[in-house]
Amino acid sequence: MIVIDGIDGSGKGVQSRRLLQIFLDAGESAILTREPGGSPAAEDIRRLLVKGEPQKWDDMTELLLMYAARRSHLRDTIWPALAENKWVISDRYADSSRAFQGIAGNLGLDTVERIHRLVVGDFEPALVIILDLPETIALARTEVRGDDEDRFERKGQDYHSRVRAAFRQIAATNPSQYRLIDADRDIAEVGADITQTINAQFALQLTSVPATR
């Protein structure tokens, strides 16, 4: 399982779609999934989380909803795909809970880890790529999207600045599992960096250019 994570507007969506295409072009069996969501039941929970007023849920309720969704995502999508020997590429995973609810939301990492252990056990993704860039640039990118899934974007710049710092802190804890990639560059450059990182980690020879976008 390979996770692409980072602040809102860091380009995870486009890079994870690109990565899926690169794996498929190479003849690998792979799926692309996302959090919150990634299974039918978890997508139901996603709708509760991403719409409405920022203060609708407090951090603890957000965390519990994220983990309810994550449990369904693991059981219904991730674990079955891994059992069929497929690569699983996920746009966000548990480090978003650590960064958003744990560190930026002030619940503390310890609380997230306790719930994580209960819900997930010791399953870990093989690699987590964190896309890093200043939150001011990232938030400006999200503003042009104009969808109604903006509950988190509206939590303000201070919150997102703490989220960025949190992801950087998490990435520094375990260099063998995490890679921090500079996402303040154009899509192709960031994409080439991601492909290179994956090739090095898994001894693959994926090419950096997907056939289609």
Bridge partner list, 87: 30
Q: Shortest distance, CB of residue 205 to ligand TYD, whole angstroms?
A: 29
User: For residue 17, what is the enclosing H or E element?
Assistant: helix 12-25
Looking at beta carbons, which residue is closest to ligand TYD?
152
Residue 34 or 164 having the CB closest to ligand TYD: 34
Residue 34 or 162 having the CB closest to ligand TYD: 34
Q: Shortest distance, CB of residue 167 to ligand TYD, whole angstroms?
A: 11
Single-letter code of the amino acid located at 162: R
Sites of contact with ligand TYD (CB under 6 A): 8, 13, 34-36, 50, 66, 92, 96-97, 100-101, 149, 152
CA dihedral 60, 66, 72, 73 (to 10 degrees): -160
Residue 190 or 206 having the CB closest to ligand TYD: 190
3-class secondary structure for 126-184? Answer: CEEEEEECCHHHHHHHHHCCCCCCCCCHHHCHHHHHHHHHHHHHHHHHCCCCEEEEECC
Q: Shortest distance, CB of residue 149 to ligand TYD, whole angstroms?
A: 6
Residue 101 or 195 having the CB closest to ligand TYD: 101
User: For residue 201, what is the enclosing H or E element?
Assistant: helix 187-202
Residue 8 or 193 having the CB closest to ligand TYD: 8
Q: Shortest distance, CB of residue 97 to ligand TYD, whole angstroms?
A: 3
Q: Shortest distance, CB of residue 39 to ligand TYD, whole angstroms?
A: 13
Residue 77 or 96 having the CB closest to ligand TYD: 96
Nearest-angstrom CA–CA distance, 73 and 68: 9
User: For residue 31, what is the enclosing H or E element?
Assistant: strand 30-34
- Asked whether the beta carbons of 2 and 178 are under 8 A apart, the reply is no
Number of residues that make up the chain: 213
Q: Shortest distance, CB of residue 92 to ligand TYD, whole angstroms?
A: 4
